Amino acid sequence: MTSPNDTFIRAELVSFARDPGDGDSPEPGSLAHYPDGLLWLKGQHIHAAGRYADLSPSLPYGADVVDYRDKLIMPGFIDTHVHYVQLDIMASYGRQLLDWLNDYTFPEECRFANHAHAEALSNAFLDEMLRAGTTTAQVFGSSHPGSVNAFFSACQKRQLRMLAGKVLMDRNAPEGLLDGAAGIADSERLIEDWHGQGRLGYSVTPRFAPTSTQIQMDAAGALLRNDPSLWLQTHLAENSGELDWVAELFPGSQDYLAVYEAAGLVGPRSTFAHGIHLDHGMRKRLAERGANIAFCPSSNLFLGSGLFDREAAKETGMAFTYASDIGAGTDLSGFGTLKSAYQVGQLRGQPLTAWQGFYGLTHGNAKALSLEHHIGQLASSYEADFVVIDPQATSLLSRRIQHCTTLGERLFALMMLADDRAIYETWAGGQCQHRRDG
Ligand code: GUN
Ligand code: ZN
């Protein structure tokens, strides 16, 4: 049955049914690639995705098929760690983490006490995400609950699948950002108002151990115990100055991760940003609890934090995801994140294949966030969140692509050379939400 709700798009389709492995070619059964494919949408969902020749006999007579045969469609990109409130301080010069937080980040986040500012930045941020092809993200607000109300309202209007939370921070920050006991009560209210509403989910968000007291972290842990469907996002082991500070503040703790473990913050829905300075034992404990590390390569290069060790993660079975970490990250684009991940990998002797990169950015990130039954694939019954990529977007890209003979080569060229100009359209919830000018 077709209805006016149906949309048909003919294009090359690329999606991953599972992890393609580390080889030069994807493991059998992992890649779904239809060079001449058809994406059939019904309302907010994908009804079918497959070979045009197989699906076209089922199309209604005179169906209006959008012809994107010169374009490539992939699932919408997912960003597992990003601060919307830091959009306007991206590229603030020349500091490492703790100075950067004090000099640029905290003053900027103070501005989110103003609701009109939070609304304007929520919309500006979502415009930029969609321009970059990102359809889902796990997002930090500021410590003001209004920052999250503004953000979720903007997401709801666009029917986006998003996770977000209000930062919890009751010490070691400017007065205007400290929430005290109200932090947990405000989080509870936000959870009640937004968690599970449509496509929205709440992430409990203690900023990191140095800015929360033990009391606040324990209370955050209690929220998670009361409702296991909540997510948790924070930072872990990013920078050496931060490690020294945590050791000083928690002298009784075995290591940094143990601080979060003691508060009950480490579980299968927990994302810890960075995880650069971890030892084998911490990686193993994260793996055992099913938590994931958000690898934020452009941020790690920008703040000089260090080079994430993907191989050590794999050896211990610790899950990791790909993230921008705006505003320390320098690139909202998923392509840019993969390019930086490749460069970090090269400096560690761990080059990243395009298969691993694009699997990670889509299905891999969805799986680590427990969203793999909703998003991350072009397949029947998944939510219709996808990007239409124009491989001819720039003259340089077009020249390079002409020299490629395989899909692997083309994806790698996109990973290294593409940016938001290559995102021709971004669709979320079955609607085209961004179309490139021209
Ligand atoms: N650690 C604590 N807060 C932050 C933040 O806002 N950005 C980054 N990169 N690291 C942090
Ligand atoms: Zn961060």
Q: Convert the chain into a string of H (helix), E (strand) and C (coil).
A: CCCCCEEEEEEEEEEECCCCCCCCCCCCCCEEEEEEEEEEEECCEEEEEEEHHHHHHHCCCCCCEEEEEEEEEEECEEEEEEEHHHHHHCCCCCCCHHHHHHHHHHHHHHHHHCHHHHHHHHHHHHHHHHHCCEEEEEEECCCCHHHHHHHHHHHHHCCCCEEEECEECCCCCCHHHCCCCHHHHHHHHHHHHHCCCCCEEEEEEECCHHHCCHHHHHHHHHHHHHCCCCEEEEEECCCHHHHHHHHHHCCCCCCHHHHHHHCCCCCCCEEEEECCCCCHHHHHHHHHHCCEEEECHHHHHHCCCCCCCHHHHHHHCCEEEECCCCCCCCCCCHHHHHHHHHHHHHHCCCCCCHHHHHHHHHHHHHHHCCCCCCCCCCCCCCECCEEEECCCCCHHHHHHHHCCCCHHHHHHHHHHHCCHHHEEEEEECCEEEEECCC
Identify the band that residue 119 occupies on the pLDDT scale cut at 50, 70 and 90. Answer: very high
Query: Quick check: is 55 in a domain?
Result: yes
**From the CB of residue 54, how many other CB atoms can be counted at a distance below 10 Å?**
12
Residues 175 and 217 in one domain: yes
Residue 99, pLDDT score: 95
Q: Is a pLDDT exceeding 60 seen at residue 113?
A: yes
Q: Does some domain include residue 1?
A: no
- Quote the percentage of the chain above a pLDDT of 70: 100
Residues 173-185: what's their mean pLDDT?
Answer: 96
**Which of the four pLDDT bands, split at 50, 70 and 90, describes residue 307?**
very high
CA of 210, closest atom in ligand 1:
2
The residue segments making up the domain with residue 241 are 78-368
CATH number at 300 reads: 3.20.20.140
Per-residue model confidence (pLDDT) at position 215: 97
Q: Of 368, 389, 416, which residue constitutes the final position of a domain? A: 368
Considering the domain architecture, whether residues 202 and 293 belong to the same structural domain is answered as yes
Q: Which residue's CA is the nearest one to ligand 1's atom 7? A: 328
- Residues 417 and 298 occupy one common structural domain: no
Cα of 212 to ligand 2 centre, how many Å?
15
Number of other CB atoms surrounding residue 217 within 10 Å: 21
| Half-sphere exposure for 71 (CA within 13 Å, toward CB) | 21
Q: Which of 368, 393, 426 is the last residue of a domain?
A: 368
Pocket test for ligand 1, best of 140, 238, 274, 305 (most atoms within 8 A of CB): 238
Inter-axis angle of helices 395-402 and 407-417, to 10 degrees? 160
C-alpha radius of gyration, the chain, whole number: 21
Cα distances from 133 to residues 12, 225, 273, 291, 436, in angstroms, run 17, 34, 21, 26, 11
What mean pLDDT comes out for the span 411-434? 98
The answer as to whether 382 is a domain residue is yes
Asked whether residue 361 is domain-assigned, the answer is yes
pLDDT tens, position by position, 217-269:
999 999 999 999 999 999 999 999 999 999 999 999 999 999 999 999 999 99
Q: How far is the CA of 52 from the centre of ligand 2 (A)?
A: 42
Residues 157, 277, single domain; the answer is yes
Does ligand 1 have an atom closer than 6 angstroms to the CB of 108?
Answer: no
**Cβ of residue 298 lying under 6 Å from some atom of ligand 1:** no
- Measure 414 CA to ligand 1 centroid, in angstroms: 29
Q: What was the pLDDT predicted at 334?
A: 98
Non-local (6+) Cβ contacts of 194 within 8 A are: 148, 149, 152, 200, 202
Q: Phi/psi class of residue 133: alpha, beta or left (left: φ > 0; alpha: ψ in -120 to 50)? A: left
Query: If pLDDT is split at 50, 70 and 90, which confidence band does 1 have?
Result: low
* CB distance 292 to 319 below 8 Å: yes
Looking at 349, 368, 387, the residue that finishes a domain is: 368
**Residue 299: CB within 6 Å of ligand 1?**
yes
Residues 41 and 149 in one domain: no
Mean residue pLDDT across the chain: 97
Q: Structurally, how many domains does the chain consist of? A: 2
pLDDT classification of 4: cutoffs 50, 70, 90: confident
Write the pLDDT tens digit of every residue in 28-70: 999 999 999 999 999 999 999 999 999 999 999 889 999 999 9
Residue 94 pLDDT class (50, 70, 90 cuts): confident
For residues 208 and 205, give the distance between their C-alpha atoms in angstroms, rounded to a whole number. 9
**Structural domain contains residue 222:** yes
Same domain membership, residue 333 and residue 216? yes
pLDDT band at 95 (very low <50, low <70, confident <90, very high): confident
183 and 327, same domain (yes or no):
yes
126 and 140 in a single domain? The answer is yes
Pocket test for ligand 1, best of 82, 83, 234 (most atoms within 8 A of CB): 83
Is 56 contained in some domain?
yes
Ligand showing the shortest atom-to-Cα distance for residue 238: 1
Q: Which ligand has the shortest distance to the CA of 100?
A: 1
Which pLDDT does position 209 carry in this prediction?
A: 98
Residues 254 and 397 in one domain: no
Q: Is the CB of 277 under 6 A from ligand 1?
A: no
* CB-ligand 1 contact for 83 (6 Å cutoff): yes
Q: Are residues 85 and 68 in the same domain?
A: no
Q: Does residue 126 form part of some domain?
A: yes
Q: Whose CA is nearest to atom 3 of ligand 1?
A: 207
CATH number of 381's domain: 2.30.40.10
Counting from 1 in the atom list of ligand 1, the atom nearest the Cα of 305 is: 9
Return the pLDDT at 3: 72
* Confidence at residue 2, expressed as pLDDT on a 0 to 100 scale: 58
CA of 35 from ligand 1 middle (Å) equals 41
Q: What is the pLDDT of residues 325-381, one digit of tens each?
A: 999 999 999 999 999 999 999 999 999 999 999 999 999 999 999 999 999 999 999
Section 156-170 average pLDDT:
98
The number of beta carbons lying within 10 Å of the beta carbon of residue 383 is 25
Which of the listed residues 177, 208, 249 should we mutate to test ligand 1's pocket, taking the one with most ligand atoms within 8 A of CB? 208
Distance CA 196, CA 119 (A): 21
CB-count burial class (<10 Å; 0-12, 13-18, 19+) for 344:
buried
Residue 86 located in a structural domain = yes
Say whether both 126 and 70 belong to one domain.
no
Q: Are 333 and 397 contained in the same domain?
A: no
- Spatial separation of the C-alpha atoms in residues 89 and 307, rounded to whole Å: 23
